[in-house]
Structures are given as structure tokens and as C-alpha cells.
Amino acid sequence: METLLTKIQTLLSYDPQSPLIFSSGLFLYLFVGFLLGYWLLRKTTHLRILYVVAFSLYFYYKSSGLYFALLIMAATYDYLIGYSLYLTKGRTARKLLVTMSVVMNLAMLGYFKYTNFLFDLTNQLFGVGFLDFQNIFLPVGISFFVFQSMSYTIDIYRGNLRPLNSWFDYLFYLSFFPQLVAGPIVRASNFIPQIRRKPVVTREMLGSALFLILTGLFKKAIISDYIALNFVDRIFDEPLLYSGFECLMGIYGYALQIYCDFSGYSDMAIGLALLMGFHFPKNFDAPYRSATITEFWRRWHISLSSWLRDYLYISLGGNRKGRVRTYLNLLITMLLGGLWHGAAVRFILWGALHGIALAVHKMWLQVVPGAKTLGKDMNPVMRLLGTLFTFHLVCLGWLVFRADSMQTAGLMLHQIFSAFDASLIPQIIAGYSGAFLLLAIGYVLHAIPDRGDQWLRGAITNAPMGLQVAMMVLMIWLVMQVKSSDIQPFIYFQF
């Protein structure tokens, strides 16, 4: 009896050291139980919506504690503003309402994400202890649901969307647990029509969901977690203890780690939503196969890059106000995109690097004859060279993004260019055989053409049910074999 009560208490309590994530065994058990109830309620729309909202809030509570109330507050505020926008006809009044929504959302985001940074910066400028403060907890996924909520009110203001009549429907949209804490950033215009539709999961959808969940687990729990704990983190923690080759491989390793971690989450989120009859847009499309930086941003974190384009870049004027203004708009957009990731110089520099690169590429397209054929129409040699250049430019950005200080980034570059020592390569590969094997597997799988991905998806979709269950069991067993003693949170939980 005591053991049962302890288990119930664990289920109902929030542990900041162990947030609920998709790759944990607890989530698997909870989701299976949830899914059973969900399909039992599939014909009763109101109860189904209430049921999903309750589970989503519980999921967020297990991720961020009592800050689930913040999510409810944001949903209430923007639901009321969205409805008021629809009823209001005056241009000035409508502009005031949408401004209130944007300011409120940005103020909430700013308080939780940037207060610590500003207080710490003030203390550095005027002396330690000038301002006395305690670190403010960052609710998981706040950047994602704030952007979703803003897009809802902005779309209503622009006349692209009708507001929801039910507050519960809006809370359903904002809190839907598969994409709540790390995206994809789902547009209201795509998601809202699906809320009250009777859920249907075809055999093809079931197979696609299984494929996405399996690949997501493999990328996150096997490749990303293993190379992070056993190789990448060690290099970035003490770069001077490692050769230039190890530092270079550490950067390549982080490029693969963050891709597998984030795209793995997105794959699982899309797969879990499919099991409930919901369709999410693709969030990653083999970004390291890009031949230009512009193509990279069409393939990497697609929901964020398209959000920044539609709600920030275009609002700034896009490419409608001349070339110089276009370059400036690109730079501002990426600087703010970097700041969205966190209040730190490294994120701002990362955004600046990508903003400058995008502006330079845009300039190249405008001044070089024939340059507009770059991309899929490039000849194979030029595409290969472009892909190698773009990948290393992105890796330079990841170095700044990952390093805890610019000193660390400088030390790693120093080791690469002054202490490479190629004679140590065989010994290093042998010493980190597991990490290098997974690095090779990850990059080879990433390089496979789209038709290979489609073939594998089709093979899993068309496999007998027994074989599909066996594949899931095998994947869980593999995860258990390589996982560390602690479940590793997703990287983008901190954003």
C-alpha cells in the first residue's frame, strides 16, 4: 500500500531534476494510458477536448511545475484579445489591441528569459551586489507557446483568421502537449480546423507515426545523448586537454548532436500527434545537405524560420524597400532570432553570423549573373563545394552557440589551427570508437537521398503489425543499452 501511495505521489508531484520528456519510460506508460482514453472519447467532442487539455496541462506541470498557470493566463489573455479584434472595426482600436497582445507576450518572455541577464550585466558594470536578485526560473518551452499565441492574434488582425468561439478550444491549441515544450511552432490556421474534427488514423498514418517515433528515439536517445555525454561535452568543457583533431570532431559532433536532439524531438512530436489524428508540418529537412545558407534556413527548424519570415522580416519591410534595407532586415531578423534563444552574447553573435551570411548570399544573388540557378539546379561539383562551405559556416555558428564563453570558442579554434597533430587520429578514433561510430552513422543517414527515407518509411508502414511492435521493442531495448544513468533533457527545453 505504501509503495502504491509513493508511486501516486511521484506521478502527481513535480521534480525539477527530472522533467517529463518523450524519451523517458514514464512518458511511454502515461501516453499509452492516455491514448486508450483518447480513443474511447473520440466520438464525444467536448469530453475529448477537455481530456486532452487536462493531460496537456498535467504534462506541462511535470515539466515546469506550477508555471502551467502561466500557460492558462497566456491562453486567456490572447483568446479575449483575439475575439475583441474580430468584433472591433476601428483601425486604431484594432492596432491598439494587437499591440497589447504583442507587448504582453514579449513582456512575459522578456521577464523570464532576460531578467537574469540584465541584472547580472548590471552587477558586472557597477560591482557585484549592486542589485540583489535570485535567478528566475525559465518555464520550459515558453518561447514556443508565446510565438504561437502571438501568431494567432496577428493573423486575426491581418484578417487571415477567424477567432475561436471557445476558450477551451484555444487552450487546446496552445497547450497541445506533443509540440508544447519544443515545437514545432504550429500555426493556428493549420491546427484549429483539426480540433473538432473526428479523429481518424489510417494504416498509413499509423505506419508514418511509428516511423517518426522510431527515428526520433534513435536520433535523440541513442546518437545525440551518447555522443554528447561521451565526447562532445568533454571537449567543450576542457578544450586545452584535447588535440586540434578532437576539437574539430567535437564541433562536428555538436552539429550532429543538436540536429539529432531537436529533429528527434520534432519527429516524435509529429508522430505522437499523428497517433491522435493530427497533422503537423515538417520541421527539419536534412539541413546539412544545403548548398547555401538560404537553403539551410529553409531546411532547419522550418517552423521558426517561417515564423520569423512572416511575422518579423515581412513586418520590417522584407525586400520591398530596396537592397540596403533588405540586408538590414535580414540582419535584424537573425539578431532577434539569436536573442530568442537566450540572453547571452554567444546567441547574439550566432544570430549576427547567420544574418550577415544571409545578407551576403542575397547580395550575391542580385549582383552575380546566373547565381539564381544555385540550389538544386547547381551542377554536382558546385553543389558539393557549396554544401561543404555551408556546413562549415554553420559549424562555426554552432561553435559560438555551444561554447559557454568566447574564450572557450577561441581555445578550440586555437587547438584546431595550432595543435591538430594528425598522427594521433588513429589513436583518438580507437579511444572513442563508440562515439565515432555513431557520428559516422548519423552523418551517413543524414546524407541518404529523400527516396531512401521514403523507402524506409514505406517499409515500416507496410510491415505486419507484429513486426512493427517488434521494431518498437527493439528500439526501446537499444535505448536502454546506451542511455546514461539520467534521462538527458532536450537541448531546446532551455529555449
What amino acid occupies position 109? L
Cα gap 161→81, rounded to integer Å: 13
Do the Cβ atoms of 410 and 239 come closer than 8 Å? no
Q: How far apart are the first and last CA of the chain?
A: 40
3-state secondary structure of 421: coil
Cα gap 367→126, rounded to integer Å: 48
3-state secondary structure of 310: helix
**Grid coordinates in use for 299?**
531546411
392 a catalytic residue: no
Cα gap 202→98, rounded to integer Å: 40
Q: What angle do CA 380, 384, 387 make, to 5 degrees?
A: 135
Q: Which of 176, 150, 149 lies closest to 52, judged by CA?
A: 176
Sequence-ordered alpha helix ranges (H) in 43-133: 45-64, 68-87, 91-126
- For residue 495, give every residue at least 6 positions away whose Cβ sits within 8 Å of its Cβ, in sequence order, or none: 143, 182, 340, 341, 342
User: Choosing from 341, 392, 414, 446, which is the catalytic residue?
Assistant: 341
User: Which residue's C-alpha cell is 501516486?
Assistant: 8
3-state secondary structure of 164: coil
Cα gap 459→377, rounded to integer Å: 30
Catalytic annotation, residues: 341
